[in-house]
């Protein structure tokens, strides 16, 4: 602990944050418009402020000092002095203790109070007024950390994109009810690294976990007042820290590192869902916790004609100012920290279109993307964009640059609508099955640019997708006005839970249809955690505030859940074994021997689809042939990639359709590998000759194959 007779050295402006070098701690904080910055030190519990140190040096707008007696575990914060002129964009208020934007750890939690606001709550002038109350006792404190950790021989699994299978999960919700996880570790990073959880991930066969936000975040005051929490975590306030609420050991930094090491040991990559588009400080009426009090005009996009107000491309009140070089530096430093120090393997960027908004319009070649593209560290990790925001022109599916993959919402919508039974979609479905070349081929990207998904954290779970047509979000306390209303869902005949055997069987079939479609599509499949176990949120399609049984995964399997889990595992295993479903390049329709194409499309008469047939409004049935010896790619040893021939038959009509097996190989027989109408999941061993009739059941998918060596 620092004594009051402390020694203060000038220190250095880089790196920013609090950096322990083995002898002392360097403190550095950027503020372009500040007049003075104080470093505030606290007792070991963070309750009492014991020292204020005026930062003696400023270099290139970075305030800095070095405390030679400081040690890891020291708790601190900042007070920043400058003009309080909201109408000019400045909101300095030294009465508010501020978090370090580069803090690696926080001690304590935010306790909501009016004192956290830079203005006087209830004043007629609102945020133009000034609040003199000190909020330090109610604030969490930044903590100096010791970065040392024994990584051993840890190395990234480096899974190729086309071999990847992503599993989106919530750290707490995934393990909180798991009976095999020690109770003290449930809902934590350590719980996610526990043997029973790793065994489930191995059994599934996923190659990466995509963790919902674990950056330090804040529970919104509005939610806390309702007795709710910001369960999802899309409310960041600290971009360098793993949130302490998911720590079971009291050391979130090392616990997170140990989790990554364990997942890597199981061959599983770690991808973080990151929120660099906005912060937890909200709009002009929000609290002063960090960036707003350090330099509001630098960190946030303000309205040019009235900088009292914020540009809001996120729906969360503010937007980080990607046009400022220090904000870009903050984000890039954060990303590199998570790769180099925490060993994560990639990032999914929430509302990524916001990061491209250099001017009012989305700029596909914005500075952020240019910097990422040339960065020797970040250009080599997995980069996933949520390719939209809520601003004008914010829907940018297909428009991100080379090196980026995207959540493909057009895939989700097309597959949902097709299996719901809507007509006229077979052309769109064919594009989605083959990697969405219409979206990604134009700028040199590959099929794996498409992150295919049916469900995600935002929306219905898979069980609810086949059980509800209307959202039931009353638990959120927003009179069911929140969440998407157009879910493209179908309840199979009854809203909500049902004991009717026919409805139960139909829902199970529809779930198999969705899963089979997902894992037989070109691109990268993403599975929502819990879908394989029949997880339901009881119709809530926006459970962002539900830190309870609505969101937590129930590991008690209901009748039929074990069979469905087995089916999901079989589909993932089938995809892993067959390169025909995970191509690195788009289909080129090139010819192979005997004039045969590498992909063919068929109508139920066994004839190739004509141009007119693609646009028929009544069409709900389609056949797709993949030629296994015409993949046109080579393996890592330079050998041609070959596979079985496959015939995929899909029927979203409610009635069976006789489908004539195409006769282009008259002596070839096909055997059924998958039949989603079969309650035992796998089809019979019966073989079907070319030219024969296969009765394709209503609302079903069938996959047939031929061994490579038996092709004639």
Q: Which of 342, 375, 407 is the last residue of a domain?
A: 407
CATH number at residue 146: 3.20.20.80
Does a structural domain hold residue 534?
Answer: no
Pairing type for strands 346-349 and 382-385 reads parallel
String of DSSP letters for 486-540: ------TTSSS----HHHHHHHHHHHHHHHHHHHTSSSEEEEETTGGGT---TT-
Global confidence as pTM: 0.96
Phi and psi of 254, rounded to 5°? Answer: -70, -35
pLDDT band at 365 (very low <50, low <70, confident <90, very high): low
47 occurs within a structural domain: yes
Q: Is residue 294 part of a domain?
A: yes
Confidence band for 710, pLDDT divided at 50, 70 and 90: very low
pLDDT attached to residue 3: 45
Q: Is the pLDDT of residue 447 over 90?
A: yes
Q: What is the C-alpha R_g of the chain?
A: 28
Alpha helices in 421-500 (DSSP H): 426-433, 437-440, 462-465
Which residues is 601 bridged to in the sheet?
624
| 4-8, 320-324, 341-345, 668-672, range with greatest mean pLDDT | 341-345
pLDDT-based confidence at residue 575 (cuts at 50, 70, 90): very high
Q: Which whole-number Å values give the CA distances from 24 to 66, 114, 554, in the listed order?
A: 7, 36, 47
Does any domain span residue 69?
Answer: yes
User: Looking at residue 557, what DSSP letter applies?
Assistant: P
Find the domain containing 13 and state its range. Answer: 1-150+166-407
3-state class (DSSP) for residue 447: helix
Residue 218: pLDDT over 90: yes
Span 405-410, mean pLDDT? 97
Look at residue 475 in the predicted model and tell me its pLDDT. Answer: 96
Query: DSSP per residue over 41-110, as a string?
Result: EE-TTS-SEEEEEE--EEETTEEEEEETT--TT-EEEEEEE--EEGGGTEE--TTS-B--TT-S-EES--
How do beta strands 36-42 and 25-30 pair?
unpaired
CB 475 within 8 A of CB 227: no
How sure is the predictor about 364, in pLDDT bands with cuts at 50, 70 and 90?
Answer: low
pLDDT at 684: 53
Check residue 560 and give its pLDDT. 87
CATH number of the domain at 645, please: 2.60.40.1180
Q: Say yes or no to pLDDT of 123 above 60.
A: yes
Query: What is the pLDDT averaged over residues 359-370?
Result: 69
pLDDT for position 6: 79
| pLDDT beyond 60 at 445 | yes
- State the burial class of residue 411 (Cβ atoms within 10 Å of its Cβ: 0-12, 13-18, 19+): buried
Domain-ending residue, one of 389, 407, 425: 407
Q: CA end-to-end span of the chain, whole Å?
A: 80
Compute the average pLDDT of residues 335-346: 98
Name the token pair of 173.
């919700």
Boundary (domain end) residue, out of 379, 407, 435: 407
Query: Is the pLDDT reported for residue 1 higher than 90?
Result: no
pLDDT at residue 392 tops 90? no
Q: What is the model's pLDDT at position 685? A: 64
CA atoms within 13 A on the CB side of 498: 20
Task: Tell me whether residue 453 is in a domain.
Answer: no
Q: Residue 711 pLDDT > 50, yes or no?
A: no
Q: Structurally, how many domains does the chain consist of? A: 2
What's the pLDDT at 712?
Answer: 37
The catalytic residues are: 350, 386
Number of helices followed by number of strands (H, E) in the chain? 14, 29
- As a whole number, the mean pLDDT across the chain is 94
Tell me if 560 is assigned to some domain: no
- The pLDDT-based confidence of 426 (bands split at 50, 70, 90) is very high
Work out the average pLDDT over 189-202: 98
Question: Among all chains, which residue has been given the structure tokens 């157009």?
Answer: 486
pLDDT at 592 over 90: no
């Amino acid at each position: 602990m620092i004594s009051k007779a402390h020694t203060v050295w000038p220190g250095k402006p880089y790196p920013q944050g609090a950096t322990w070098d083995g002898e002392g701690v360097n403190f550095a904080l950027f503020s372009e418009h500040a007049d003075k910055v104080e470093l505030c030190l606290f007792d070991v519990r963070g309750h009492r402020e014991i020292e204020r140190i005026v930062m003696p040096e400023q270099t290139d707008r970075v305030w800095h000092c070095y405390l030679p007696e400081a040690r890891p575990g020291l708790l601190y914060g900042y007070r920043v002095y400058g003009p309080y002129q909201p109408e000019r964009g400045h909101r300095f208020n030294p009465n508010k203790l501020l978090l370090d934007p580069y803090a690696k750890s926080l001690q304590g939690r935010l306790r909501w109070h009016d004192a956290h606001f830079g203005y006087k709550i209830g004043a007629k002038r609102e945020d133009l007024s000034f609040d003199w109350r000190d909020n330090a006792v109610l604030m969490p404190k930044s903590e100096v950390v010791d970065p040392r950790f024994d990584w051993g021989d840890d190395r990234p699994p480096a899974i190729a994109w086309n071999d990847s299978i992503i599993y989106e999960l919530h750290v707490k919700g995934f393990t909180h009810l798991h009976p095999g996880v020690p109770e003290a570790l449930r809902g934590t990073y350590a719980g996610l690294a526990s043997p029973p959880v790793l065994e489930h991930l191995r059994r599934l066969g996923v190659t990466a976990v995509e963790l919902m936000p674990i950056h330090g975040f804040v529970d919104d005051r509005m939610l806390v007042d309702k007795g709710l929490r910001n369960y999802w975590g899309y409310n960041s306030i600290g971009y360098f820290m793993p949130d302490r609420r998911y720590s079971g050991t009291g050391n979130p930094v090392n616990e997170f590192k140990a989790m990554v090491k364990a997942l890597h040991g199981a061959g599983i990559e770690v991808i973080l869902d990151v929120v660099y588009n906005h912060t937890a400080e909200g709009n002009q009426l929000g609290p002063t916790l960090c960036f707003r009090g350090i330099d509001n005009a630098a960190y946030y996009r303000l309205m040019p004609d009235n900088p009292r107000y914020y540009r809001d491309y996120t729906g969360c009140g503010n937007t980080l100012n990607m046009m400022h070089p220090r904000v870009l530096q903050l984000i890039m430093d954060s990303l590199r920290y998570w790769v180099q120090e925490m060993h994560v393997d990639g990032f999914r960027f929430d509302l990524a279109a916001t990061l491209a908004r250099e001017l009012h319009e989305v700029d596909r070649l914005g500075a952020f993307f240019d910097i990422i593209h040339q960065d020797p560290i970040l250009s080599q990790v997995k980069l996933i964009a949520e390719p939209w925001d809520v601003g004008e022109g914010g829907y940018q599916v297909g428009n991100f640059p080379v090196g980026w993959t995207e959540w493909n919402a057009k895939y989700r919508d097309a597959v949902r609508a097709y299996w719901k039974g809507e007509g006229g979609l077979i052309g769109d479905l064919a594009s989605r099955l083959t990697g969405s070349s219409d979206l990604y081929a134009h700028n040199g990207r590959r099929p794996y640019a498409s992150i295919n998904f049916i469900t995600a954290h935002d929306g219905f779970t898979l069980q609810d997708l086949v059980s509800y047509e209307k959202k039931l979000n009353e638990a959120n306390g927003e009179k069911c006005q929140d969440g998407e209303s157009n879910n493209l869902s179908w309840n199979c005949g009854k809203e909500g839970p049902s004991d009717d055997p026919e409805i139960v069987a139909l829902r199970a079939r529809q779930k198999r249809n969705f899963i089979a479609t997902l894992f037989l599509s070109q691109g990268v499949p993403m599975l929502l955690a819990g879908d394989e176990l029949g997880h339901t949120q009881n119709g809530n399609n926006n459970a962002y505030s539900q830190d309870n049984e609505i969101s937590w995964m129930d590991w008690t399997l209901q009748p039929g859940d074990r069979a469905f889990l087995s089916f999901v595992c079989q589909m993932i295993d089938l995809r892993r074994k067959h390169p025909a479903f995970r191509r690195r390049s788009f289909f080129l329709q090139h010819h192979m021997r005997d004039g045969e194409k590498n992909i063919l499309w068929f109508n139920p008469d066994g004839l190739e689809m004509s141009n007119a047939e693609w646009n028929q409004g009544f069409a709900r049935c389609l056949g797709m042939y993949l030629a296994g010896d015409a993949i046109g790619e080579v393996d890592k040893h330079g050998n041609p990639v070959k596979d079985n021939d496959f015939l995929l038959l899909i029927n979203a009509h409610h009635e069976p359709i006789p489908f004539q097996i195409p006769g282009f190989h008259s002596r070839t027989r096909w055997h059924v590998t998958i039949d989603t109408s079969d309650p035992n999941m796998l089809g019979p061993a019966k073989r079907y000759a070319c030219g024969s009739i296969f009765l394709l059941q209503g609302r079903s998918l069938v996959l047939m194959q031929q061994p490579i060596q038996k092709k004639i």
